[in-house]
Structure 1
């Protein structure tokens, strides 16, 4: 058995070598502040994964993963790695502890988001496919994302 202290190379990736993108979002104002405490590490792209996205995301206390939303064509999956989060859906709120997961099938019009209501950061793995033509509906806002841009429900741009 040999031990190699050199950094791993694809297909292996050490997330500690990546730089998180804190609060990065293309949401229009006034929605950006809601994800200011979100720190996302993109894991799939550096490994050449192109059919689906994989992110390791940290939510600081008080932060949200996103605005409550659902996808027309994209499946989503989240797995809580560390800490505790609250899943907010049309049905209400559900506590998710480390080791728990949730899935959101494409086309299910039930907006979801994760919120960290605790006093410590929480981390989760998020996986979603990259279906062409996906439309994102933001359940609590006058906003949809389609054709690469945000629009009001009446079709006017943000």
Structure 2
């Protein structure tokens, strides 16, 4: 074993993973829309660098993200509990446990909303492609993934938040 390598678990109970410290990376006024979302970043626990995995809980009235699409990142969701609605710029689909959806880079804008009276729990998986950008058709927002892996947000006219 390499003494310089950080000690990482081999396996964990996913629900026991710590919640993400900051509820949302979005700037105000968008961050407050994520108040009914809880993310447990599972991939980070294991030191995954090429893709991320989150165990995410949406409380009633919650949404997974703003309606968005990525320029380079593929995304995938798998529903574990509850009945969210997949909202896209091409329509809506009711989801249930055992269902999944995938979003290739540059494809449809999408997000999940919880219109039910019960929590929704799902896995979300996305790659960490360098140079990725996020576009938000329903909001005055664009995002760029910086070289250090942080999202940098601006208005559509280029003005920073």
Could you state the TM-score of these two structures normalised by the residue count of structure 1? Answer: 0.89
Q: Would the alpha carbon gap of residues 23 and 45 (structure 1) be closer, same or farther in structure 2, given more than 3 Å must change?
A: closer
Do the aligned partners of 1:23 and 1:39 also contact (CA within 8 Å) in 2?
Answer: no
Do the aligned partners of 1:22 and 1:37 also contact (CA within 8 Å) in 2?
Answer: no
Corresponding residue number in structure 2 for 1:130: 128
Instruction: Tell me if 1:63 matches 2:66.
Output: no
Q: Deviations over 1:117-138 (max 9, x none)?
A: 0001010000000000000001
1:16 CA drift (Å): 3.4
- CA-based RMSD of the aligned residues comes to 1.5
Do the aligned partners of 1:68 and 1:113 also contact (CA within 8 Å) in 2?
Answer: yes
**Alignment map for 1:111-122 (pairs within 5 Å):** 111-122=109-120
Instruction: Tell me if 1:42 matches 2:41.
Output: yes
Corresponding residue number in structure 1 for 2:24: 25
1:57 CA drift (Å): 0.2
Corresponding residue number in structure 2 for 1:4: none
2:152 to 125, 149, 154: 149
Gaps of 5+ in 2: 1-7
Gaps of 5+ in 1: 1-8
1:26 CA drift (Å): 1.9
Structure 2 residue matching 1:84: 3-state secondary structure: coil
Structure 2 residue matching 1:97: 3-state secondary structure: coil
1:22 CA drift (Å): 7.7
Corresponding residue number in structure 2 for 1:5: none
Corresponding residue number in structure 2 for 1:82: 81
Could you state the TM-score of these two structures normalised by the residue count of structure 2? Answer: 0.87
**Alignment map for 1:2-17 (pairs within 5 Å):** 10-17=9-16
Do the aligned partners of 1:68 and 1:139 also contact (CA within 8 Å) in 2?
Answer: yes
Query: May I ask how many residue pairs the two structures share in their alignment?
Result: 149
Corresponding residue number in structure 2 for 1:6: none
Q: For 1:19 and 1:38, how far apart are their aligned partners in 2?
A: 14
